[in-house]
Amino acid sequence: MYVAVKGGEQAIANAHRWMADRRRGDRNQPEIDVEQVREQLGLAVDRVMAEASLHDPGLAALALKQASGDLTEAVFLLRAYRTTLPRLADSVPLRTADMRVERRISATFKDVPGGQVLGPTYDYTHRLLDFMLLAEGECPAPARAEVALEACPQVLDSLDAEGLIEQEVDDGAMPYDITRDPPDFPVDRATRLQMLARGDEGYLLALGYSTQRGYGRNHPFSGEIRQGAVEVEIEVEGFDGPLCIGEIIISECQMINQFGGSREKAPQFTRGYGLAFGRNERKTMAMALVDRSLRAEELGEPVESPAQQPEFVLAHADNVEASGFVSHLKLPHYVDFQSELELLRRLRREHAARDGGGTADEVESARAHEMDAGLKDTTASAPLSAPSSELPSESSSESSSAPSSAPSAPRRSQETSA
């Protein structure tokens, strides 16, 4: 006998409770503290802040803990929180030239004013598992220079004097705000940079990498990579000049890229730019590569590779959007699937009748796996369909935590459950 199952709410609650249990893990182990996450998984915290577009290490650490370390989920949590915050002020543009540098390297000059500063980095470590970390132990304090590094000039500025590199000029225009208004393509560079800055690191890395392998090659050099603390300032009515409201750590990358010049313009280096909250060096390098490749049209280069197509790159860079839409395939699609099924059966009946390849009845009783194979044809013309009869993830928890309901699709159960 067929019974329609009610009680989705209970199943959802049970699933969440189980998830919380999983997150906590073995109760014999001490529970991880948000402060520990913040202090000891700092690069994960930084990545979450960058992709969530919210600088708050404490909340990013909380999001990481709540998400059991799932970075994309943590980004989503922080992003959703960010949306609810009132906007009290806009900062004046950060002055990265005035950064209190803790790391600063250039691959284009052996020595630069201010010097090369390796700073804290995994570069040049030998990637051997350090079994010493299995044991608790003291970590020696870092060796630091006697004098803290003062603000040092940006390397690319040294090319400015000769006119060897294009000038970036602030046209004073109010930047578009991608968090408030929907982007209307094509978008300007400032908007592109905003979208890249919150883009998924893995995605930007792959796209940047593709340009190095010839899909829109633009001959990059790391002109300068720096990270350190910059002051955040806001204008307040009644005060002369901006007020500093605090300091944040950021990473910046300026790529120097080739440019052939044109009839009107002497050959000149061009720039790709990357900036991110926290210590996010890989992200900023990838961002700079992609920023530069998205300038192809502006610089008169042929647009022929994925990383050069702004709408393609930007519309798919946001991992909160991407993971949401991919994961929505877990939601029920019974109705659409049923629509496809009905058509497919009809087409197969007609096909059979035409070709005499089998009676309509034989086709009608075709097995499910045959339908799956056949479905691929129709989904090609209707890509939205979700030809999946797999269980939504909630169902597994539903069945175990509420053993009386069957582990079938959440809305209906089979007679075995009754």
Partner 1 sequence: MNTSGQDSQYSGYNFAYLDEQTKRMIRRALLKAVAIPGYQVPFGGREMPMPYGWGTGGMQLTASILGANDVLKVIDQGADDTTNAVSIRTFFERVAHVETTTRTEAASVIQTRHRIPEKALSKGQILVYQVPIPEPLRFIEPSEEETRVMHALEEYGVMHVKLYEDIARHGHIATTYAYPVKVDERYVMDPSPIPKFDNPKLNMSDALMLFGAGREKRLYAIPPYTRVKSLDFEDHPFEIQAWDTPCELCGATDSFLDEVITDDQGGRMFVCSDTDYCQNRREEVA
Return residues touching partner 1 (CB under 8 A): 2, 4-9, 11-13, 16-17, 20, 76, 79-80, 82-84, 86, 179-182, 184-186, 311-312, 315, 320-321, 323-328, 331-336, 338-343, 346-347, 350, 365, 367, 378, 381-385, 392, 394, 410-412, 414-415
Q: In 3D, which of 351, 211, 356 has the Cα closest to residue 292?
A: 211
Distances (CA, A) of 302 to 188, 229, 299, 307: 18, 39, 9, 12
Q: In 3D, which of 185, 176, 202 has the Cα closest to residue 318?
A: 202
Identify which of residues 33 and 364 has a Cβ nearer to partner 1 in the complex: 364
Identify which of residues 201 and 340 has a Cβ nearer to partner 1 in the complex: 340
* Cβ at position 155, least distance to partner 1 in Å: 36
* Cβ at position 314, least distance to partner 1 in Å: 10
Structure tokens at 256: 């120097």
Range list of H helices, 224-333: 281-293, 310-315, 319-327
Within 119-242, strands assigned E span 220-234
* Cβ at position 298, least distance to partner 1 in Å: 15
Identify which of residues 86 and 172 has a Cβ nearer to partner 1 in the complex: 86
* Cβ at position 114, least distance to partner 1 in Å: 40
Which residue, chain included where needed, has tokens 């939601």?
A: 331
| Cβ contact 165:154 at 8 Å | no
Identify which of residues 53 and 116 has a Cβ nearer to partner 1 in the complex: 53
Structure tokens at 212: 């190095």
Identify which of residues 198 and 279 has a Cβ nearer to partner 1 in the complex: 198
Identify which of residues 16 and 265 has a Cβ nearer to partner 1 in the complex: 16
Helix (H) or strand (E) holding 224: strand 220-234
* Cβ at position 197, least distance to partner 1 in Å: 16
| Cβ contact 392:330 at 8 Å | yes
* Cβ at position 385, least distance to partner 1 in Å: 7
